[in-house]
A and B are shown apart, each in its own frame.
Chain A
Amino acid sequence: MKISKKTWIEIRGMTLVYFLLLEVLLVATLQYWPQIREALEKNTGVFVNLMPGDFLKRIVRGMADKSPDFAYRAYIATEQFFRSVNIIGIAAAVLLGTGTIARERENGTLEFLLSRPIKRSSILWSKTWCLTLAVTIPIFLSSATIIPLTRLLGFPYHLDWGPILLASLHGSLFVLLFLLLAIAASTLFRAQVHVAFFVGGLIVTEVGVYFIKGLRKTSLFMLSDFDVYMPILAGNRSPLQVFLTWDLWLILAIVLLYAFTQRRFQKMDL
């Protein structure tokens, strides 16, 4: 049995719960769209005025747009990507990532694992790619059900696969950044609770910064908000544009974090 298989057995339950959460929320969200659309059409001005921040006003305006297709895409961008990916995706990444090394250390199995005749780089790589698939595939799978669900619910809107897959890829990369952050922290702290506290604290700070008007541009969540997903879903961004504007930086940050973790793990004592 290989390390990746062992890791999969360890996390498969959590991965399934994570996917089901994404899917259940998506189904519930889509079902309520006709009522929400109706209310927004009637009282757009009221809802817009109720929103405290500019970005929230833009979300409401998007969902109240005269074009039903555009409004539906704004709804998907908000509910599936801005909300579910950012909350459930990141929570899953942190839960799975923080235990990568710290849980082995806490359970006392790290000594057994490290004493096997295998390179530490292989151990980290096996665990990382397995976790990467566990946090990203549910995003793709859940997003892939948007079009069939839309048809199943009898909605007349037109959606293309390309923008949905592109948004899923971008959302996955964003979640992957937090997974790598959690794995890196897992090699820095001895207890999983300390890792979770560190990564959780960082996320809460970033969310806090996002809600402060003057500081928003410095928040990581600027890379995964409505203003990112809406143009993608509206078909206004080509894959190359998405790559050059956002994904390139995310990939660079992920690679740097992996390199840091690898270096740290090589030198780490039991």
Chain B
Amino acid sequence: MNLGAAETPRIQEPLLQAEGLSKAFGKNLVLRDLHLRIEPGSCLGLVGPNGTGKSTLFRCLLGLVSIDRGSVRLGQGRIPGDSLGIRRTSSFLPGENALYDFLTGREVLDFGLGFHDRIDPEIAGLCEEAFPLPLDQKVRTYSAGMKQQLALRIALSPEVPLLILDEPDKALDPKLRDALHQILNRLRAKGRTLFLATHHLEDLDQIAEEIAFLIHGKLLRGEVIAPARKRLERRVRIKLREGCTLPSLPTGVQVLSAPPSYILEPPPTLSSRELATLLLPLDPLQLEFGRAPLLELYRVLKNEEEA
């Protein structure tokens, strides 16, 4: 008889857990005491401009780059120790889609998938449909977009719990990006965990259920970014028609950007809805509030971190 079982709250084991991860290249500290926890079945998006260490973070998690301090745990794998266990439990799409040019597409596909124990036939089929390629041609004849599609077929098809995708939508046209989103959604529906970085922030907003920001080597997410997100959600963004100017605004409203697209921050005494209502008579091209665009959020967090 287990009397305590019913009362004990269930704490879900994270799929991936990194503790106190630090990595420096010479004097350049890229990751600073970084903590990361990814729950099974979740989708975490990583935001940060080029050079902030997104790829380094992915490489550290997979044991491709040594870490100076900290630890990583994924499934049976651990770093330091057993990075092979981590790579067996995950599939990785490198940011640089360099593939073996002297092989045919089919040979690269066989090579890339050949190391995994199990391939998900449904996802492999979806990938084949979404990313049709001339597989009998040498990879050297492929365009950048075709190479990315081939790399995606290799990264998405293995039946592993975690997929780490570094810029999966790089070099893809809008139609292919849509196809990719559908496959990612299907993977999520199948309970796979996704950790991905992309520069298409509007897409990330749609795919990922949570966003993390990598700023100055620290990972900011959840409660840490909630105040900034709330502040941004209070902002009103308006794009005026040509020739139109802003009317006189209530006291305390701050104008944060130049015409014709304005970002207005109301004072605490005024709600964003009230401010937006005041602006409606201008018949603007665009008027929105209650949203925190990722790029703006990133800038605010970066300024706060630097301050």
Q: Name A's B-contacting residues (CB within 8 A).
A: 1-2, 6, 9-10, 107-109, 111-112, 114-119, 267, 269-270
Contact = CB atoms under 8 A, between A and B. Distances in A.
A1 B111 contact: yes
B104 to A, nearest CB: 10
Contacts of B290: none
Contacts of A6: 100, 103, 107, 111
A118 B112 CA distance: 11
A115 B92 contact: yes
Interface of B: 59, 62, 64-66, 84, 87-88, 92, 94, 96, 98-103, 107, 110-112, 114-116, 151
A9 B102 contact: yes
9 contacts: A1-B107, A1-B114, A2-B114, A6-B103, A107-B98, A114-B64, A115-B62, A115-B92, A270-B59
B110 A1 contact: yes
A11 to B, nearest CB: 10
Contacts, number: 56
Given A112-B112, A115-B92, A118-B87, 10 more contacts: A1-B111, A6-B111, A9-B103, A107-B98, A108-B96, A109-B100, A111-B98, A112-B99, A114-B64, A115-B64
Nearest to A109: B98
Contacts of B98: 107-109, 111-112
Given A1-B111, A117-B84, A117-B115, A111 B94 contact: yes
B23 to A, nearest CB: 10
Contacts of A111: 59, 64, 94, 96, 98
Contacts of B107: 1, 6, 9
Nearest to B85: A117
A112 B112 CA distance: 8
Given A109-B99, A269-B66, A270-B64, A117 B112 contact: no
Given A1-B110, A112-B94, A269-B65, A119 B103 contact: no
